[in-house]
């Protein structure tokens, strides 16, 4: 399937889609909480279906209908023989710590694509935390716990999903958790959102700021009654990116818009945060100096903005990012190069010389973020941009092209 995007004047409003990361966390927390929890605003994504199936393996009774799910957490968690995470990377990383919380072996499997990912750093962490693992470079794998949460050092490059999984199951372990953070954690906002959700369900923390997280073990979650999945500032930001390049875009939703307005302002675009909405508009785009870790999940936006801005931008500190973020950035750099951007890897940095972009044929390599970033870039490019395999965005944001049209983009 192809999508053709032509140069467009962006001017419109859209509702922000629900946050898939927070939907996964809500499902796991509800599985850990005895009794009924109603989850609303659940996104219709294949990964959510995989997460629901995996949570059922731990004894949760989940009834889903549209954007609603009734989750009945078991009175007592039981170690499953097998947890199949399907094609969902988020479910795997969130549930791996829970699998390692039991004193019996749990087998973990997934799709061919998921099995091909390098998961050795995560199993190495569990090994160092006194769990037993058997991982030979691909799934299926085996873990046997319980792993220790006392005096652990967490490498930031392992990311926010695995850390969130550790935190979510830590209160149920019979030991205090004390986790020091080594280096910055990409996607740190997702960790803060996880901690906030845990607090709303009665979990106490000794420390939850800076480079150290600590909480008492042996706690129990209080049934939250209902969890409404918040809007996703990350997915919405690709529509805002189009506004920053050619016009203006307004997104509505219940989320922390402050967390990413800065990335647009850094390149000279306007970003006006109001109550429950954000307006991003085109400015006189100029080059910037960006720290890759600070940019985090918004690194693709920085690369696109740098490609459209006149002058030379430097994005440094690449070594601080997980490998998958680097791979995504390299794929996007390749495609932006087709559109006329001059991007070079110089040691630990990207050097981008931007200017006027031109339409091109884009191969996102199955990555929704690359496809959405190039679609946003296309609205300011001379000539049509063809995005091959455009249906890959449905794994993350099924309504992306519809919403892009709603704010003024010409998409065929």
Q: What is the pTM of this model?
A: 0.88
11 lies in the same domain as 35: no
Please check whether residues 170 and 258 belong to one and the same domain. Answer: no
Domain that residue 378 falls in: 2-17+232-411
60 lies in some domain: yes
User: What's phi and psi for 273, nearest 5 deg?
Assistant: -90, 125
CA dist list (Å): 343 to 316, 327, 351: 13, 15, 6
How many Cβ atoms sit within 10 Å of the Cβ of residue 287? 19
Who contacts 302 (Cβ-Cβ below 8 Å, separation ≥6)? Answer: 263, 266, 267, 288, 290, 295, 313, 315
294 in the same domain as 158: no
CB 393 within 8 A of CB 362: no
Q: Say whether both 198 and 347 belong to one domain.
A: no
Question: Per the structure block, which two tokens stand in for 263?
Answer: 């990335």
Instruction: Tell me the pLDDT of the chain (412 aa) as tens digits.
Output: 899 999 999 999 999 999 999 999 999 999 999 999 999 999 989 899 999 999 999 999 999 998 999 999 999 998 999 999 999 999 999 999 999 999 999 999 999 989 988 999 999 999 999 999 999 999 999 999 999 999 999 999 999 999 999 999 999 999 999 999 998 888 888 899 999 999 999 999 999 877 899 999 999 999 999 999 999 988 999 999 999 999 999 999 877 777 778 999 999 999 998 878 999 999 899 999 999 999 988 999 999 999 999 899 999 999 988 888 999 999 999 999 999 999 999 999 999 999 999 999 999 999 999 999 999 999 999 999 999 999 999 989 999 999 999 999 999 9
Note whether 258 and 401 are same-domain residues: yes
Phi, psi of 191, deg, nearest 5: -70, -45
Among the candidates 216, 241, 270, a domain finishes at 216
| Number of domains observed in the structure of the chain | 2
265 and 384: one domain?
yes
- Judgement on whether residues 355 and 406 belong to the same structural domain of the protein: yes
* 272 & 392 share domain: yes
> Which positions ≥6 away from 44 have C-beta within 8 Å?
66, 67, 398
Pairing of strands 349-354, 311-316: antiparallel
226 found inside a domain: no
CA distance 113 to 89: 9
User: In CATH, what number is assigned to the domain containing residue 349?
Assistant: 3.65.10.10
Burial class (CB in 10 A: 0-12, 13-18, 19+), 346: exposed
Residue 405 placed within a domain: yes
Q: Is 23 buried (19+), middle (13-18) or exposed (0-12) by CB count in 10 A? A: buried
Q: Are residues 244 and 176 in the same domain?
A: no
Question: How many CB atoms sit inside 10 A of residue 344's CB?
Answer: 11
Clarify whether residues 264 and 384 are in a common domain: yes
Q: Is the same domain home to 136 and 281?
A: no
Q: Is the dihedral of CA 10, 278, 306, 406 positive or negative?
A: negative
């Amino acid at each position: 399937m192809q999508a053709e995007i032509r140069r467009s004047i962006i001017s419109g409003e859209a509702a922000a889609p629900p946050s898939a990361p927070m939907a996964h966390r809500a499902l796991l927390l509800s599985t850990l909480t005895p009794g009924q929890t109603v989850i609303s605003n659940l996104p219709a994504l294949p990964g959510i279906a995989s997460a629901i199936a995996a949570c059922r393996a731990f004894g949760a009774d989940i009834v889903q209908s549209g954007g609603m799910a009734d989750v009945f957490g078991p009175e007592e968690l039981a170690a499953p023989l097998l947890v199949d995470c399907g094609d969902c990377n988020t479910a795997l990383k969130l549930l791996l710590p829970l699998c390692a919380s039991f004193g019996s072996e749990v087998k973990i499997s997934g799709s061919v694509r998921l099995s091909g990912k390098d998961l050795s750093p995560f199993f190495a962490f569990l090994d160092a935390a006194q769990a037993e693992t058997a991982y030979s470079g691909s799934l299926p794998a085996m873990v046997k716990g319980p792993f220790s949460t006392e005096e652990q050092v967490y490498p930031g490059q392992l990311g926010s999903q695995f850390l969130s999984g550790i935190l979510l199951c830590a209160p149920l372990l019979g030991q205090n958790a004390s986790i020091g953070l080594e280096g910055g954690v990409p996607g740190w906002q997702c960790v803060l959102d996880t901690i906030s959700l845990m607090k709303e369900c009665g979990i106490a923390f000794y420390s939850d700021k800076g480079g150290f997280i600590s909480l008492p073990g042996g706690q129990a979650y209080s049934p939250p009654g209902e969890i409404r999945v918040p809007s996703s500032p990350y997915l919405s930001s690709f529509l805002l990116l189009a506004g920053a390049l050619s016009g203006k875009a307004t997104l509505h939703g219940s989320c922390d818009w402050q967390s990413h307005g800065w990335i647009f302002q850094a390149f000279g675009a306007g970003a006006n945060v109001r109550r429950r909405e954000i307006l991003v508009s085109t400015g006189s785009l100029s080059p910037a100096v960006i720290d890759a870790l600070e940019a985090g999940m918004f690194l693709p936006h920085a690369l696109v903005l740098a490609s459209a801005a006149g002058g030379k931008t430097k994005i440094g500190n690449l070594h601080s990012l997980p490998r998958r973020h680097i791979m995504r950035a390299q794929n996007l750099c390749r495609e932006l190069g087709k559109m006329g951007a001059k991007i070079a890897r110089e040691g630990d940095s990207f050097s981008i010389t931007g200017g006027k972009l031109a339409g091109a044929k884009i191969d996102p390599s199955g990555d929704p973020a690359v496809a959405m970033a190039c679609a946003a870039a296309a609205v300011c490019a001379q000539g049509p941009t063809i995005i091959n395999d455009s249906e890959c965005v449905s794994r993350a944001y099924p309504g992306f092209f519809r919403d892009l049209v709603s704010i003024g983009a010409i998409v065929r």
